[in-house]
Amino acid sequence: MIYQIYPRSFQDSNGDGVGDLPGILARLDHLVTLGVDAVWISPVYPSPMADFGYDVADYTGIDPAFGTLADFDRLVSAAHARGLRVILDYVPNHSSDRHPWFVESRASRNNARRDWYIWRDPAPDGGPPNNWLSEFGGPAWTLDTATGQYWYHAYLPEQPDLNWRNPKVREAMLDVLRFWLDRGVDGFRIDAIHHLFEDERLRDNPPNPEWRPGLSPARRLIRTHTMDQPEVQEAVAAMRRIADSYPDQRVLIGEAYLPIDRLMAYYGAELSGFQLPFNFHLLSTPWKASAIAALIERYEAALPPGAWPNWVLGNHDRSRIASRLGPAQARVAAMLLLTLRGTPTIYQGEEIGMTDVPIPPERVQDPWERRVPGLGLGRDPVRTPVPWEAGAGAGFTSAAEPWLPLSEDGRPASVAAQARDASSVLSLYRALLALRRAEPGLSVGAYASVATDADEVLAYERRDEVTGRRLRIALNLGNRRRELVGFAPSGRLLLSTHLTRSGEAIRGAMRLGPDEGVVVELGSASGTRTEA
């Protein structure tokens, strides 16, 4: 069970309104009580913060805003002492334009590092070399007037793409992995991996017939020649060989927003790639029982033999689950996430039901919102500080103004308040994580869907193949009461998302309240497999 920390908004320890490493250290006990196994920390490297750390100016340092290398080492030891593993964010596709490599590369056409980035001559009309677009709006090429060539950037101009076809770049970037693995980190979340290579012939991307005004301008084109190119697989395998050369299994988690069939390639031939290519499909699947059941079946069926699944409900780039579905269904979503096979990743704040916080125009920080305003692409609303306690600064900061605003309506209640409330979202997350730890069938057991005749109910069984123990999960994705006939011939309620009932015996039918999810253990007495 992985927990994503967005460090700028987790805990500020020095009163500058920005979260930092000593802040994370001070809050480790929250994560232990919550019950996760590992933290993934979004980038903490030296950075001009054009993209809030995803523009790295030094891959082997710590930005002063977050602390020092000594703070980092202390955090890793303290986490390990508590049985928590630490996963760093690795940003191989691009560096910052202030990285010394790019500064040199830009200095002249014949600089030894010129070929460390992707430089091309202008098109005959002086414009960009081809039609490729930046994810954050505008062309993916920026002209360096001094040397008369364009550099390529899948994201901001301040994030020039590294040239992974250059063996020296590849070695330097693989050394970065070694640097942190030597320091004891337990793995990496690998940023934007699908962007690592582009077509060498620079062919234009074709137009996207499905693009409509209001969608991201980058989606005007289909990224045939800028995404998911074949060469990426060998680079992934090289990263994996390094991780595998260290003791105690280090994990590699790849960020790739791809259709299921393409995503599976990132497990690598004979599982020589990422252990966990992030599965983002719950973020885009309609919240309907039939659609989610079909997604689970399709994803499970597509997994290569021996591949381990994973699931995600949110991250620092996507609208929060409690905003997408509303607070009642966010609880049901938590039960889904934490009862599916594989590794779940929880995004900071999900465990207290944080929602997107509206950001007034004068407080916008995200470069995406600044470059493409008004389309709702900006990610600031999902990156606001965690409210730890009631009161000014919410226990996040002693500064007068945190870098992004706290929610104004005082919702959700703070971590401290929710810890005292036996029916809070936090109590639900703790109960779900504890149940998942107590019942190995929930993480590693077999998955089988269970048919019910109640619409808007998603039901499935998880079976511990070692003990034969069977758990049935029923999730009411609607807000009407449901009766599930023959759901559990003989069973016992282990957990309800409402946290108002547990332990009751189930004999055949099972009632589900509006927006309620349940986990039921099937009685061993019933023995044979029962059809619902």
**What are the residue numbers of the active site?**
191, 255
> How are beta strands 470-476 and 517-522 bridged, if at all?
antiparallel
Q: What is the CA radius of gyration of the chain?
A: 24
Query: By C-beta, is 73 or 317 nearer to ligand GLC?
Result: 317
Closest approach of ligand GLC to the CB of residue 17, in Å: 20
Closest approach of ligand GLC to the CB of residue 218, in Å: 12
Closest approach of ligand GLC to the CB of residue 414, in Å: 26
Closest approach of ligand GLC to the CB of residue 229, in Å: 17
Helix (H, G, I), strand (E, B) or coil at 435: helix
Establish if 439 lies at the interface with ligand GLC (CB under 6 A).
Answer: no
With contact defined as beta carbons under 8 Å apart, do 482 and 475 qualify? Answer: no
Footprint of ligand GLC on 73-132 (CB under 6 A): 91
Closest approach of ligand GLC to the CB of residue 520, in Å: 37
Helix (H, G, I), strand (E, B) or coil at 180: helix
With contact defined as beta carbons under 8 Å apart, do 343 and 312 qualify? Answer: no
| CA 269 – CA 271 distance, rounded (Å) | 5
Give me the residue whose beta carbon is nearest to ligand GLC: 54
| Size of residue set near ligand GLC by CB under 6 A | 9
Beta strands in 154-286 (DSSP E): 187-190, 251-254, 276-277
Query: By C-beta, is 348 or 530 nearer to ligand GLC?
Result: 348
Query: By C-beta, is 186 or 255 nearer to ligand GLC?
Result: 255
Query: By C-beta, is 199 or 317 nearer to ligand GLC?
Result: 317
Calculate ∠ Cα 149-153-159, nearest 5°: 110
What 8-state DSSP symbol labels residue 452? -
Q: Pick one of 54, 66, 299, 311: the residue that binds ligand GLC (CB under 6 A).
A: 54
Q: How many CA atoms lie within 13 A of 412 on its CB side?
A: 29
Q: What's the Cα-to-Cα distance from 4 to each of 40, 289, 315, 337, 344, rounded to whole Å?
A: 5, 27, 7, 14, 11
Q: Pick one of 191, 198, 351, 461: the residue that binds ligand GLC (CB under 6 A).
A: 191
Closest approach of ligand GLC to the CB of residue 123, in Å: 26
Establish if 51 lies at the interface with ligand GLC (CB under 6 A).
Answer: yes
Establish if 371 lies at the interface with ligand GLC (CB under 6 A).
Answer: no
Query: By C-beta, is 155 or 188 nearer to ligand GLC?
Result: 155
H-only helix segments in 303-346: 321-325, 327-337
Footprint of ligand GLC on 298-337 (CB under 6 A): 316-317
Site string for ligand GLC, 247-286 (x = CB under 6 A): --------x-------------------------------
Closest approach of ligand GLC to the CB of residue 405, in Å: 19
Q: Pick one of 155, 180, 274, 429: the residue that binds ligand GLC (CB under 6 A).
A: 155
| CA 332 – CA 348 distance, rounded (Å) | 18
The DSSP H or E segment spanning 5 is: strand 2-5
Q: What's the Cα-to-Cα distance from 40 to each of 89, 188, 268, 303, 407, rounded to whole Å?
A: 7, 8, 22, 24, 24
Q: Pick one of 39, 118, 169, 192: the residue that binds ligand GLC (CB under 6 A).
A: 192
Query: By C-beta, is 24 or 377 nearer to ligand GLC?
Result: 377
Q: Using CB under 6 A, list all residues that contact ligand GLC.
A: 51, 54, 91, 155, 191-192, 255, 316-317
